[in-house]
Amino acid sequence: MSTHTEQGQKVTTLTLRHMKTTGEKIASLTAYDAAFARVLDQAGCDFILVGDSVGMVVQGHATTIPVTVDEIIYHTKMVARGVARALIMADMPFMSYHTVDDCLHNAARLMKEGGAEMIKLEWGALQIDMVARLTECGIPVCAHLGLTPQAIHKMGAYRVQGREDATAKKMKDDALALEAAGADVLLLECVPMDLAAEITRAARVPVIGIGAGPAVDGQILVLYDILDIAPGKRTRFSRNYMHDRDSIHAAIETFVGEVKRGEFPTAEYAFS
């Protein structure tokens, strides 16, 4: 269990940076309401993401694209009511940050109305300027690279990103550019584990993986996936933690413990 969990300290951006420095793994899950947020907080999650995955696992959409800013604010408010320790991160929904002005306006709403303590945006050509401006305004940022679900119609399929030399180099360059612009956390989704390890070694800020192998600074999964209640086929990089567990709390504690001890993910849940 995390030393910060034992001390009951509120997790901040400084906490996450300290954990990277000391080598303590960061454990995170998504949540969309107060009840689950409370369980995740008590189980030792270091941050909780109010993800636009709510569109798929709660609302029943085929993609994350229909999710609105108002909906993320609504769910972030609920999560905030259930959290005492974990940092609260909220997704910027599709097309809510296509200009710097819109990005600032909607990020401010997520923090002021929703109670978010960090916002997450998916990487695109304009995001370096946006990250720099958000940083200037005192808004903590997580930059999401690799598989970016909001671009699913452009990509055409959910698939591993960064296997080709050129795309791998661009992803590493982008990660370091986003860090230089002020990103507090980098999140890599569906990235080959060797590339994720290389980016993690090069970055000074924490690197969180979802389908990015074991060498990153921390792991995040969608809560409904690890509880085996998400619709459709479970992703390769996720695991059913309800198997042989007698409660949701036990399943979440097991996930957190395995991340902290470096037992999850194994190569079975990663990409080469």
Task: State the 10-residue block means of pLDDT for the chain, 272 residues long.
Answer: 60 98 98 98 98 96 96 98 98 94 97 98 81 97 92 75 94 96 97 98 98 98 95 86 94 98 96 94
pLDDT value at position 124? 66
Q: Among residues 71, 117, 179, 189, which one is catalytic?
A: 189
- Tell me if residue 71 is catalytic: no
Q: Tell me how many helices (H) and strands (E) the chain has.
A: 12, 8
What SS3 class is residue 261?
Answer: coil
**Residues constituting the chain:** 272
What residues pair up with 91 in beta bridges, in sequence order?
120
pTM of the model: 0.94
> Could you report the per-residue pLDDT of 145-179, keeping only the tens digit for each?
999 888 777 776 778 999 999 999 999 999 999 99
User: How buried is 247 (Cβ within 10 angstroms: 0-12 exposed, 13-18 middle, 19+ buried)?
Assistant: exposed
pLDDT value at position 125? 57
- Kindly write down the DSSP assignment for every residue of 114-157, as one continuous string: T--SEEEEE--TTHHHHHHHHHHTT--EEEEEES-GGGHHHH-S
pLDDT value at position 2? 45
CA 230/CA 159 separation, integer angstroms: 19
What domains are there in the chain, each with its CATH number?
3-138+218-269 (3.20.20.60)
